[in-house]
């Protein structure tokens, strides 16, 4: 890829802005030493717009820009179901999950599990999360980011992995969540602005220079099969988005696990000034999720149509870098490339901080050194962030054989998500659920998922996730009823008015549901 002087200036100005902003925000007032609340919860100071922006910056990464565009190339608009269902999920999480979490004053999601169940459940889930964050999330984001650098700029994969890791580490390891969250506000501007540049140019290319509306019409005309939100069983991609799994099963398991029980997502809301700011933040994120397919799915469909016209093809995960490399003109490539890098490093920094939070609060303080000082907790957080990144750097090059990395992430996250979601839902909303029932759900989620994948290899993974979730819910119910006739002593008490939301939240939620209803009617 050829960069003009202006492109280089724009890109390095972005890098300098993020690093300087992150390090500046990280500085504490004279005489104040950074404590665990500062490092892991941004001093409980986040506003709604910072929460919403940070949620999206943490969520949208190379797995969306590269992976979801790749799935847009291979599957079509149907992959946007992950984005649009997430907007509905955020409404439910904001109304019914966050009030309980904030009331308990927790740092981590495993910590909540000890409050509701016991220490065994907390520790087992903390280990699960650490494994998923390091070996699936951090690793795949580094790989996909480096893949884009190789495709766009010819940088060797390993150097791209190291470079991205170093950029994310520069400000996040020292600054903690405060640096991560406030730089995410800037990252989202680059992410959407630069991403839309690529989409607009790509659509204009499809239309032969006649504009984005004409370009979108051309997509509908030449690739109508790519605009089915609900796939027919005869569709070659049906296994990735089966009707049952999308409407009633695993899609909801994936979304509620990710947005309601996932440390590096909920940690932003836990750092809110108050519940109102947290709820408005997740609603703001819901609207941004509705817009995301414009940035991360449509470019993949454009790449498919352009290659179809030329009688050629590429690997799906090369669709977005190919568009950026081929069609974005000099002078704009720096902004578009900055958007891609912004998505990558914001997610990396978020995952690193959440990995550090869980290790420091649930493993180090919970097991290794129960009397750890605030200074020791912050130091442990920084060391564990660095070590998680080193492990991910070592593993990331081994993902080179993947075809659609986004689907890889969804499937293997789905080995733990059914059990974790079952444990949380039962713990939040069923007062009888016992610690032993939750522990068995935690123990069996991976073996059951792996067993079903081996015994029924043709079963769509979303269907498998939904089925495993139901099995584990039944298991929790059966064990609980055998053990206990009454309410569990550690059951969550939900007093009257706990789930009441203000008019701003309610009106915004109705708006999201209305927009999604129109979109699904148009593209059913």
In angstroms, the CA 456 to CA 454 distance is: 6
248: buried, middle or exposed (CB in 10 Å: 19+, 13-18, 0-12)?
A: exposed
In angstroms, the CA 179 to CA 169 distance is: 11
Average pLDDT over the chain reads 87
Q: Which residues pair with 46 in a beta bridge?
A: 272
Confidence (pLDDT) at 402: 61
pTM: 0.90
Q: Inform me whether the pLDDT recorded for 404 exceeds 60.
A: no
Q: Which residues pair with 272 in a beta bridge?
A: 46
Averaged pLDDT for residues 275-300: 94
8-state DSSP, 248: T
**The two structure tokens encoding residue 1:** 């890829």
In angstroms, the CA 287 to CA 289 distance is: 5
Confidence (pLDDT) at 11: 83
In angstroms, the CA 44 to CA 154 distance is: 42
69-78, 205-214, 402-411: segment of lowest average pLDDT: 402-411
Confidence (pLDDT) at 177: 84
- Asked if 96 contacts 259 with a C-beta cutoff of 8 angstroms, the reply is no
Q: Inform me whether the pLDDT recorded for 22 exceeds 60.
A: yes
CA angle at residue 381 from 183 to 424, to 5 degrees?
85
Sequence-distant (≥ 6) Cβ neighbours of residue 183 within 8 angstroms: 18, 21, 22, 25, 171, 346, 349
403: pLDDT confidence band, cut at 50, 70 and 90?
Answer: low
479: pLDDT confidence band, cut at 50, 70 and 90?
Answer: very high
**The two structure tokens encoding residue 465:** 């996730």
Q: Inform me whether the pLDDT recorded for 237 exceeds 90.
A: no
513: Cα separation from own chain's centroid: 21
Number of other CB atoms surrounding residue 446 within 10 Å: 16
Q: Which of 273, 269, 263, 305 is nearest to 285 (CA)?
A: 269
Confidence (pLDDT) at 45: 86
In angstroms, the CA 85 to CA 517 distance is: 11
What is the SS3 assignment for 327-370? HCCCCCHHHHHHHHHHHHHHHHHHHHHHHHHHHHHHHHHHHHCC
In angstroms, the CA 53 to CA 189 distance is: 9
455: pLDDT confidence band, cut at 50, 70 and 90?
Answer: very high
Strand (E) or helix (H) holding 417: helix 417-429
**The two structure tokens encoding residue 224:** 């109508």
In angstroms, the CA 366 to CA 247 distance is: 39
pLDDT (tens digit, 9 = 90+) per residue, 333-347? 888 888 878 878 888
Confidence (pLDDT) at 32: 67
In angstroms, the CA 100 to CA 92 distance is: 13
Number of other CB atoms surrounding residue 278 within 10 Å: 26
Confidence (pLDDT) at 427: 94
Strand (E) or helix (H) holding 85: helix 81-92
Strand (E) or helix (H) holding 398: none
Confidence (pLDDT) at 330: 78
Averaged pLDDT for residues 82-93: 94
pLDDT (tens digit, 9 = 90+) per residue, 190-219? 888 888 888 999 899 998 888 899 999 999
Q: Which of 502, 34, 54, 506 is nearest to 271 (CA)?
A: 54
120: pLDDT confidence band, cut at 50, 70 and 90?
Answer: very high
- Domains located in the chain, CATH noted: 5-401 (1.20.1730.10)
116: Cα separation from own chain's centroid: 25
Counting residues of the chain whose pLDDT is more than 90, the rounded percentage is 41
311: pLDDT confidence band, cut at 50, 70 and 90?
Answer: confident
């Amino acid at each position: 890829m050829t960069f003009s002087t202006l492109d280089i200036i724009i890109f390095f100005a972005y890098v300098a802005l993020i690093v300087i902003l992150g390090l500046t925000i990280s500085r504490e007032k004279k005489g104040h030493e950074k404590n665990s609340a500062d490092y892991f919860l941004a001093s409980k100071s986040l506003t709604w717009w910072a929460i919403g922006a940070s949620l999206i910056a943490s969520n949208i990464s190379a797995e969306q820009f590269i992976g979801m565009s790749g799935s847009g190339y291979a599957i079509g608009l149907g992959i946007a179901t992950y984005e649009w269902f997430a907007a509905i999920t955020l409404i439910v999480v904001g109304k019914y999950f966050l009030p309980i979490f904030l009331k308990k004053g927790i740092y981590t999601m495993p910590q909540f599990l000890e409050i509701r169940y016991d220490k065994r459940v907390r520790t087992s889930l903390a280990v699960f999360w650490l494994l998923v964050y390091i070996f699936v999330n951090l690793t795949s984001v580094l790989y996909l980011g480096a893949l884009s650098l190789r495709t766009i700029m010819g940088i060797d994969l390993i150097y791209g992995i190291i470079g991205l890791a170093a950029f994310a580490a520069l400000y996040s390891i020292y600054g903690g969540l405060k640096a991560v969250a406030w730089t995410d506000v800037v990252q989202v501007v680059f992410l959407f602005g630069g991403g839309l540049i690529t989409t607009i140019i790509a659509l204009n290319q499809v239309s032969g220079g006649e504009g984005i509306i004409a370009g979108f019409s051309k997509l509908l005309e030449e690739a109508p099969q790519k605009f089915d939100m609900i796939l027919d069983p005869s569709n070659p991609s049906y296994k990735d988005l089966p009707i049952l799994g999308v409407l009633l099963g695993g899609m909801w398991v994936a979304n509620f696990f990710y947005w309601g029980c996932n440390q590096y997502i909920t940690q932003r809301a836990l750092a809110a000034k108050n519940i109102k700011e947290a709820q408005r933040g997740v609603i703001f994120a819901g609207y941004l999720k509705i817009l995301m397919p414009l940035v991360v799915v449509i470019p993949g469909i454009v790449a498919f149509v352009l290659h179809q016209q030329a009688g050629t093809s590429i690997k799906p995960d090369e669709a977005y870098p190919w568009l950026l490399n081929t069609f974005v003109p000099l002078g704009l490539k720096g902004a578009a490339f900055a958007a891609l890098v912004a998505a990558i490093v914001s997610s990396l920094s978020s995952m690193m901080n959440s990995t550090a939070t869980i290790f420091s609060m649930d493993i180090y303080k919970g097991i290794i050194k129960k009397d750890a000082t605030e200074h020791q907790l912050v130091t442990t957080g920084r060391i564990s962030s660095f070590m998680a990144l080193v492990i991910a750097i070592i593993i990331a090059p081994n993902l080179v054989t993947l075809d659609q990395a986004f689907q890889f992430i969804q499937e293997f996250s789905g080995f733990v998500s059914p059990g974790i979601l079952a444990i949380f839902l039962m713990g939040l909303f069923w007062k009888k659920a016992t610690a032993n029932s939750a522990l068995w759900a935690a123990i069996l989620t991976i073996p059951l998922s792996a067993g079903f994948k081996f015994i029924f290899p043709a079963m769509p993974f979303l269907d498998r996730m939904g089925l495993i979730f139901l099995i584990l819910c039944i298991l929790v119910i059966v064990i609980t009823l055998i053990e206990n006739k009454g309410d569990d002593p550690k059951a969550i008490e939900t007093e009257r008015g706990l789930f009441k939301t203000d008019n701003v939240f309610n009106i915004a939620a109705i708006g999201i549901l209305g927009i999604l209803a129109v979109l699904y009617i148009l593209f059913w």
